[in-house]
């Protein structure tokens, strides 16, 4: 793991099937909108030895016609929305109902897309942490807000363990004052 | 049956700490090879169920 600068981490990991799935999906997504991966997959990307059924992704608000182009390209490239129809997808996304996309005829893993609406999510979406991998680049949330969100807002045993893992694996690389700041912000 | 949840949680966190230390001190290739055995098998089995 190489910290190229404050906003870029280079990972020389051997990619697994989940990494390849996420890279493939995000290559399509980034052509249409800004995105940022959050939560469980971020922890797995940095080595936590656990699985996940879904990958949480925030995207920027889009116009309907732009969203439809994204939807069509995803369909063309072998993905399908597994929890709603193309007709209803845009409205549901804007009503804060996440859309789940998986490879056709499969259910897991899937990508869960939500609109970034909270000020902090919008802020990080504009300037995400970039992770350089051997087969491409992923844009993820910075580590400090990830830890704060898991500890304050989620708080399940799995989330507490994820936050603990991030604290340990990034020891000396993360700003603990920032974590406390984000914890206060998420508590409001 | 008595089950000591606190002890179990402490042991889980201890393992997480040990694994995080391994990831910090070994090359990305080394830890990812081990992680991928788990992840790839979960994906393969998940897909079989669907």
Q: Nearest CB to B24: which of A12, A50, A169?
A: A169
pLDDT of residue B49: 43
Instruction: Give the distance, in angstroms, between the CA of residue A150 and the centroid of all CA atoms in the same chain.
Output: 14
- pLDDT tens digit sequence for A128-149: 999 999 999 999 999 999 999 9
The whole-angstrom distance between A21's CA and the closest CA on chain B is: 10
CA angle, A74 then A80 then A85, to 5°: 110
pLDDT of residue B47: 57
Kindly state the helix (H) or strand (E) to which residue A65 belongs, with its residue range. Answer: helix A64-76
Q: Give the mean pLDDT of A48-53.
A: 93
In angstroms, rounded to a whole number, what is the distance separating the alpha carbons of residues B47 and A52? 13
* Global ipTM: 0.90
The structural domains of chain A, ordered by start, are: 16-121 (3.30.460.40), 143-188 (no CATH)
Question: Which of A137, A109, A167 has its CA nearest to residue A36?
Answer: A137
Rounded to the nearest integer, the mean pLDDT of chain A is 96
CB of A109 closer than 8 Å to CB of B46: yes
In angstroms, rounded to a whole number, what is the distance separating the alpha carbons of residues B27 and B22? 9
A/B interface, count of CB pairs below 8 Å: 85
Q: Give residue A101's region: left, alpha or beta (phi > 0; psi -120 to 50).
A: beta
In angstroms, rounded to a whole number, what is the distance separating the alpha carbons of residues B49 and A107? 9
The answer to whether the Cβ–Cβ distance between B43 and A164 falls below 8 Å is no
Determine if the peptide bond prior to A173 is cis (ω within 30°): no
CB of A24 closer than 8 Å to CB of A81: no
- pLDDT tens digit sequence for B1-50: 787 888 888 999 999 999 999 999 999 999 999 999 999 999 888 755 43
């Amino acid at each position: 793991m190489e910290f190229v600068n404050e906003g870029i981490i280079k990972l020389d990991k051997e990619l697994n099937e989940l990494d390849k799935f996420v890279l493939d999906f995000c290559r399509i997504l980034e052509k249409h909108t800004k995105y940022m991966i959050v939560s469980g997959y971020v922890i797995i990307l940095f080595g936590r030895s656990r699985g996940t059924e879904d990958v949480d992704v925030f995207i920027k608000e889009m116009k309907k016609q732009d969203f439809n182009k994204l939807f069509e390209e995803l369909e063309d490239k072998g993905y399908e929305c597994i929890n709603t129809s193309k007709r209803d997808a845009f409205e549901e996304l804007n009503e804060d109902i996440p859309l789940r996309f998986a490879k056709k005829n499969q259910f897991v893993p899937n990508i869960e897309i939500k609109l970034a609406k909270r000020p902090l999510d919008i802020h990080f979406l504009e300037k995400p942490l970039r992770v350089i991998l051997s087969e491409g680049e992923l844009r993820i949330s910075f580590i400090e807000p990830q830890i704060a969100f898991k500890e304050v807002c989620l708080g399940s045993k799995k989330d507490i363990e994820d936050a603990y893992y991030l604290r340990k694996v990034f020891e000396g690389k993360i700003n603990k004052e920032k974590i406390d700041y984000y914890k206060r912000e998420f508590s409001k | 049956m008595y089950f000591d949840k606190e002890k179990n949680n402490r042991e889980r966190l201890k393992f997480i700490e040990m694994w995080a230390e391994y990831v910090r001190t070994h090359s990305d290739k080394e830890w990812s090879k081990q992680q991928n055995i788990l992840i790839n098998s979960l994906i393969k089995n998940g897909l079989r169920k669907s």
